[in-house]
Amino acid sequence: MLAIVDGTVQDAETARIPITDEGLLRGDGVFEVIRLYAGRLFALDEHLERMVRSAGNLRLPLDAGAVRADALALAAAAPPADAQVRLLVTRGGVRIGLLEPLKSHTETVSLATVTYAPPRIMDQTKSLSYAGNMLATRVAHERGADEALLVTPHGRVLEGPTSTIFVALDAEPGHLVTPPLDDHVLDSITRRRVLALTGARERPVTLDELRGAREACLASTTREVQAVATIDGHALPAAQSLDRSTGFFSP
């Protein structure tokens, strides 16, 4: 696996950062994950723009030009294959990039709802503090599901720990819906693409509505679009109607 640290491409196994860096000690830093298609970075500008916003929210100095150069250098050093690039900037001022293999995803996914209250001060910030999100996934695994679905204590559906959810509801025939950014979900790059391509509507979604959904899917940079088979053990009847030619559901 390749890495780049402060502009130097190297073997990831030998890459080092100071153990005093607060990115390590406190999870104080920002990150982005960018998809590589045949060695080419996808939506690099949008990912960097969001990284700059995240850094601004944390009052973290960030040299966007240097981060861009790191991403391009790592992609150039990689074989022309599908993969992902993880970019990090820590409070200690270290720029890190990792070339990672894509995680394999099944065609459908089972979800378990996990109660979650988004920290308002971290709105629209992709920080290194993802322990809560990763714990939610482990809780879902303990319940026999593949992935978690974050839901507020008041029963509003939010998102997956690392993905956006889109749902087809009887109340919105012919349209997918997704929770709005005002519900403190991440402004996902793939979410933007799905909204533009499908005409999906943004509105609050309750857990009760979700349990009556015809179909749903998760969307993210690394998983692209993945059909949801079950939520809390309840089967979604149209899970097999995914249009494999487009990757989206048929209305």
Residue type, 115: T
CB atoms within 10 A of CB 233: 11
| Cα torsion 115, 120, 123, 125: sign | negative
Q: What is the pLDDT along the chain (251 residues), one digit of tens a residue?
A: 899 999 999 999 999 999 999 999 999 999 999 999 999 999 999 999 999 999 999 999 999 999 999 999 999 999 899 999 999 999 999 999 999 999 988 899 999 999 999 888 889 899 999 999 999 999 999 999 999 999 999 999 999 999 999 999 988 888 899 999 999 999 999 999 999 999 999 999 999 999 889 999 999 999 999 999 999 999 998 775 554 444 444 44
Rounded Cα distance between 31 and 75, Å, is 17
In a 3-state reduction of DSSP, which class is residue 59?
coil
CATH of 108-249, one of 3.20.10.10, 3.40.50.300, 3.60.21.10, 3.40.50.2020: 3.20.10.10
| Cα torsion 220, 112, 172, 246: sign | positive
CA of residue 238 relative to chain centroid, distance: 24
In a 3-state reduction of DSSP, which class is residue 115?
strand
Q: Which pLDDT belongs to residue 61?
A: 96
The DSSP code for 23 is H
Domain-wise residue ranges, the chain:
2-100, 108-249
Whole-model pTM over 0.75: yes
CATH class of this structure's domain 2-100: alpha beta
Q: Which pLDDT belongs to residue 183?
A: 94
Q: CB of 137 within 8 A of CB of 103?
A: no
Across the strands, what pairs with 215? 168
Q: Dump the DSSP string for 168-202.
A: E-TTSTT-EEE--GGGS----HHHHHHHHHH--EE
